[in-house]
């Protein structure tokens, strides 16, 4: 029950569930060129956006707590949806800490430097290596290297996880050249600063949600043990891999270790060293951090485990406090949608494929692992297929839909949350035909879900966490594709485009509320969901996009 502006009771009560379907990476754009959403055959999405209440929600910049003009991402998109409010994200917190020098005043940085000076050892930096600003920013790392030199740290090693996903797909050498120039300037001053190892972020080290621990093992061998394929420089490694596989993107490059003239690795990790993982986003930093710090580790055979001082840019796992040492403290969010629903006795079902499962659980729940209620909640993780997603762009949308429909019809759950990863995961490949197929697979899933919701007497909310699939090439000023060597330049990164929010409601309840006009974003979803559940939105949340009649 909710109370209207006039004081009269207005009841919204669905026989079936309130279903929130997140079409990951499906943004809105008027352009046709490179737009897999508009080029796909999508009769169900067309019906939703043509005949039902539609809003274009902001999913980037200040609307999701990152700098204006910056694209959103899956982590902050789900976090903002689930929290019902705009929360300053880790990137802004880290930016401020670096710019003001606060990061260097903290005990973690002081201990990291003191340990290196005392042990006459090395300071290592590991992270996704670009200025993509989704998981990390290489300039944060360069600022730490500069401060390390000012504090007389003699040896520093950088382990680069090449991006090609949040930046152009073959831009690695641009960033390597910037880093090598910086390191050479320190070498000229008598410091021993070098690139030590690397590999593509989607093949080496940066796994997430435990879906591919061999990826972390490859990183361990490259960064920690120094036993990956040897090269004399990062440039030599990248150029060799490209010659061997001409179509390979940076994110898939194999692991490599840099060796000196004697053939020995220049930067394996030794006892007494300091290691800093400089990602400010948690999901692709947790597993390597776990391998470095957890005593009873059993995911792969580590071999020698060096005794190092290990620190993260932020705490990557708040429940297990991994890592124990962090450079920047995050904002703690309270009053999340999932917890509120459960506190009101509303049963919840949540599902996605493994690659996005953490987003509809951990991030949507306000960076909290586990369920709020074992009695009222059920989470189902659908294991990912193995291989490159563009080869099977439908992914497991059929399985997700099967289980969602089962729960919709079953009647046990009043709130259902499902994420379809296709748009983001396949969109990151920037291959048009697979991207179109991915969108069509999701549209088929939508059609099946709509029918099930109608049969159950429920309501379906359709949205996205950020854009991607609608802009698979870089666009010129007039909307045409930017060309290189006569071919469109693929765009693997997220976009700043708005995302759809549609309420598909064929019940009598649709006459009990009306569409509000306003400048809305992802943070307005939580209050809307609560209102459709017959609950009063929490005062901490941004307003709903509907009002009661």
Give catalytic residues, as residue numbers.
74
29 token code pair: 């754009």
413 token code pair: 């759950």
Residue count of the chain: 549
Q: What burial class does residue 373 get, using C-beta atoms within 10 Å of its C-beta: 0-12 exposed, 13-18 middle, 19+ buried?
A: middle
What does the alpha-carbon distance between residue 370 and residue 87 come to, in Å, rounded to a whole number?
21
What does the alpha-carbon distance between residue 395 and residue 474 come to, in Å, rounded to a whole number?
25
Phi, psi of 193 (to 5 degrees): -115, 125
Q: What burial class does residue 324 get, using C-beta atoms within 10 Å of its C-beta: 0-12 exposed, 13-18 middle, 19+ buried?
A: middle
DSSP β-bridge partners for residue 514: 547
Q: Are 134 and 206 in contact (CB under 8 A)?
A: no
DSSP β-bridge partners for residue 257: 197, 230
Phi, psi of 152 (to 5 degrees): 70, 30
What does the alpha-carbon distance between residue 352 and residue 361 come to, in Å, rounded to a whole number?
9
3-state secondary structure of 533: coil
Phi, psi of 45 (to 5 degrees): -65, -40
Cβ contacts of 210 within 8 Å, gap of 6 or more: 287, 299, 354
Phi, psi of 283 (to 5 degrees): -60, -35
- Of 451, 401, 418, give the one whose Cα is nearest residue 349: 418
What does the alpha-carbon distance between residue 59 and residue 28 come to, in Å, rounded to a whole number?
11
Could you tell me the strand order of the sheet in which 499-504 lies? 54-57, 499-504, 459-463, 18-23, 415-420, 348-353, 377-382
């Amino acid at each position: 029950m909710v109370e209207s502006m006039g004081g009269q009771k207005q009841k919204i009560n669905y026989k079936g569930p309130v279903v929130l379907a997140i079409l990951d990476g499906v943004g809105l754009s008027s352009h046709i060129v490179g737009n897999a959403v508009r080029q796909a055959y999508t009769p169900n999405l067309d019906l939703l956006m043509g005949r039902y209440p539609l809003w274009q929600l902001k999913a980037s910049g200040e609307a999701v707590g990152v700098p204006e003009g910056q694209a959103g991402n899956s982590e902050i998109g789900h976090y903002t949806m689930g929290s019902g409010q705009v929360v300053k994200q880790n990137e802004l917190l880290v930016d401020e800490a670096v710019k003001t020098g606060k990061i260097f005043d903290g005990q973690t940085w002081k201990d990291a430097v003191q340990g290196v000076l005392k042990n006459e050892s090395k300071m290592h930096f590991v992270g996704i290596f670009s200025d993509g600003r989704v998981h990390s920013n290489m300039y944060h790392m360069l600022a730490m290297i500069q401060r390390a030199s000012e504090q007389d740290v003699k040896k520093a090693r950088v382990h680069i996880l090449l991006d090609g996903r949040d930046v152009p797909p073959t831009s690695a050498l641009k960033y390597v050249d910037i880093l090598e120039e910086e390191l050479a300037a320190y070498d000229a001053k008598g410091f021993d600063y070098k690139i030590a190892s690397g590999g593509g972020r989607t093949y080496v080290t940066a796994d997430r949600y435990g879906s591919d621990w061999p990826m972390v093992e490859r990183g361990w061998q490259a960064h920690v043990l120094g036993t990956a394929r040897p090269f004399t420089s990062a440039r030599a490694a990248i150029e060799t891999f490209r010659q061997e596989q001409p179509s390979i993107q940076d994110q898939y490059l194999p692991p490599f270790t840099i060796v000196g003239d004697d053939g020995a690795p220049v930067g394996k990790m030794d006892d007494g060293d300091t290691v800093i993982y400089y990602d400010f986003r948690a999901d692709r930093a947790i597993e390597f951090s776990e391998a470095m710090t957890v005593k009873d580790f059993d995911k792969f055979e580590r071999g020698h485990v060096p005794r190092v001082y290990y620190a993260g840019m932020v705490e990557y796992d708040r429940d297990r406090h991994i890592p124990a040492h962090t450079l920047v403290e995050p904002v703690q969010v309270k009053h999340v949608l999932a917890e509120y629903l459960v506190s009101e006795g509303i049963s919840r079902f949540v599902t996605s494929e493994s690659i996005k499962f953490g987003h509809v659980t951990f991030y949507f729940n306000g960076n909290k692992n586990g369920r709020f209620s074992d009695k009222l909640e059920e989470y189902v993780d659908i294991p990912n297929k193995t291989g490159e997603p563009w080869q099977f762009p439908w992914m497991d949308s059929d399985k997700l839909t099967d289980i969602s429909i089962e729960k919709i019809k079953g009647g046990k759950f009043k709130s259902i949350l499902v994420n379809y990863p296709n748009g983001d995961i396949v969109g990151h490949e920037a291959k048009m035909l697979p991207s179109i197929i991915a969108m069509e697979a999701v549209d088929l899933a939508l059609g099946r879900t709509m029918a099930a919701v109608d049969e159950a007497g429920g309501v379906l909310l359709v949205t996205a966490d950020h854009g991607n699939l609608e802009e698979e090439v870089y666009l010129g000023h007039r909307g045409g594709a930017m060309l290189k060597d006569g071919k469109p330049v693929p765009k693997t990164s997220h976009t700043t485009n708005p995302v759809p929010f549609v309420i598909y409601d064929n019940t009598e309840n649709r006459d009990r509320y009306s569409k509000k006009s306003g400048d809305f974003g992802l943070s307005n979803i939580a209050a809307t969901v609560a209102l459709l559940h017959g609950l009063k939105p929490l005062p901490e949340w941004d307003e709903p996009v509907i009002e009661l009649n």
